[in-house]
Amino acid sequence: MVKYRHALDGLRAICIIFTIFNHISFVPRYIDGSFGVDIFFALSGWLITWLLLRDTSADEKFNLKAFYIRRFFRIVPLYAFTILLYFCASTLLARLGQPEKQHDFLRALPYIASFNSEFRPLAAGDSFLHAWTLGIEEKFYIIWPCILFFLVKKPLWAFSVSALIIGCLLFVSHGESFFVRGYFGLAFGALLAIIVKNKPHLIDIFKKSEIASICVGLMVLTYTASLIFPMVNIWNLAMSFFGAGLVASLWFNTHSPTSRILSFAPLAWAGKLTFAIYLTHVLVLNAVEIAIAKLGLESSMMLEFILVYPLSIALAYMLHVTIEKPCIEIGRSIAKGPIIHTGLSPRI
């Protein structure tokens, strides 16, 4: 059984706050919420790769079937329920005199339901648009473990094959920024896990050094530089790169000052809800904006955030208790594999 890392959930909790700000109106230039998902990508790349490599002995491959079963029950049930919520919301808006909302949702539905939202054309509208990150991560969850399964003793070869696949996807997407950010972010985390696995002495360096603080400092510098010298993708990729180092440091050095701060109980608790928050926070935001307009209040960034964040947590907690957690347990029971208490569900 793998020891639970509270700091990783604390990191997720901070990232989801950035993500919420990224979708709120009236956000000043000095708040760039797009960086939240870049750290999420690096975190997912590291966790999936490290744990799959860790659970593989010299003579035994990991249980690929059990992995896919657990992934399915962690992601699909709550995702499907969120799609149902979007359908209900679009139907309600259509009855309130906004039929275009339902039309947009129905045009986007084939892409959303198949985890291909990142490929949707502009004509499909922007309903549940942030599902693009889930589409990228799902392809990573499906393809990368399968490649590792067959090339587990040659992880660098596995990474090379994955790089070729990523290159093809980037070619098909014409180098769209979200493809670059998503797959490179995942690759940074995965490659670092492979390097550490093949160079075990690096584990001692992570354990004995305050690499987490260094990575946080570099991430702050990256964020500052992005405000002074705006450059598409470059700073997002840098954030993923340093984020991968931060995640690895938090994994191995659970007693560092950074790890203790991120392990703060309320922060870690909120971090457990990030998947549900990510899926539903735009719905909550839309409802809040409608309510503010109906009440004749003057909207502002802080008013929307003060309302959206706690309401998103409340809704996420209900979904976590009623859908996410029970389905995770069902998946573990069916897979009959080892229970991993590290928060492997996609906190994007």
Residues 193, 249: Cα–Cα separation, whole Å: 11
Q: How far apart are CA 164 and CA 149, in angstroms?
A: 17
The sign of the torsion formed by the CA atoms of 178, 226, 31, 236 equals: positive
What does the pLDDT read at residue 2?
59
Please count the structural domains in the chain. Answer: 1
Q: Of 238, 317, 237, 316, whose CA–CA distance to 282 is shortest?
A: 316
With a CB cutoff of 8 Å and minimum separation 6, the contacts of 269 are: 9
| Residue 348 is assigned to a structural domain of this protein | no
pLDDT score, position 174 = 66
**Backbone φ, ψ for residue 39 (5° rounding):** -70, -40
Does 346 map to a domain? no
Helix axis angle, 6-23 relative to 35-54, nearest 10°?
150
Beta-carbon contacts of 248 under 8 Å, excluding residues fewer than 6 positions away, are: 46, 50, 192, 193, 196, 206, 211
Sign of CA dihedral 16, 17, 22, 23: positive
Whole domain around residue 16: which residue ranges?
Answer: 6-335
> Does residue 343 form part of some domain?
no
**Calpha distance 152→168 (Å, rounded):** 23
pLDDT score recorded for residue 3 = 72
Which residues fall within 8 angstroms of residue 190, CB to CB, at 6 or more apart? Answer: 45, 46, 48, 49, 144, 159, 162
Q: How far apart are alpha carbons 254 and 242 in whole angstroms?
A: 18
Predicted local distance difference test score (pLDDT) of residue 119: 87
- Which amino acid type is present at position 94? A
Q: Which long-range contacts (CB under 8 A, 24 or more apart) does 228-234 make?
A: 232/177, 233/177, 233/180, 233/181
Tokens for 122, please give them. Answer: 């502009």
Residue 1: inside a domain, yes or no? no
Which pLDDT score, from 0 to 100, does residue 60 have? 58
Is residue 315 within 8 A of residue 280, CB to CB? The reply is: yes
Look at residue 340 and tell me if it is in a domain. Answer: no
Contact criterion met (CB below 8 Å) for 49 and 193: yes
Q: Tell me whether residue 257 is in a domain.
A: yes
Contact 17, 32 (CB under 8 A): no
132: which 2 tokens?
């693009």
Please indicate, yes or no, if residue 50 is contained in any of the structural domains.
yes
Per-residue pLDDT of the chain (348 residues; tens, 9 = 90+): 557 899 999 999 999 999 999 999 889 989 999 999 999 999 999 999 998 887 665 455 678 888 899 999 999 999 999 999 999 999 999 888 888 889 999 999 999 999 999 888 888 888 999 999 999 999 999 988 888 888 877 777 877 888 888 788 777 766 678 888 999 999 999 999 989 988 989 999 999 889 999 999 999 999 999 999 988 789 999 999 999 999 999 999 999 999 999 999 999 999 999 999 999 999 999 999 999 999 998 889 999 999 999 999 999 999 999 999 999 999 999 987 543 433 333 333
Q: 330 is written with which tokens?
A: 């069902």
Domain assignment of residue 147, yes or no: yes
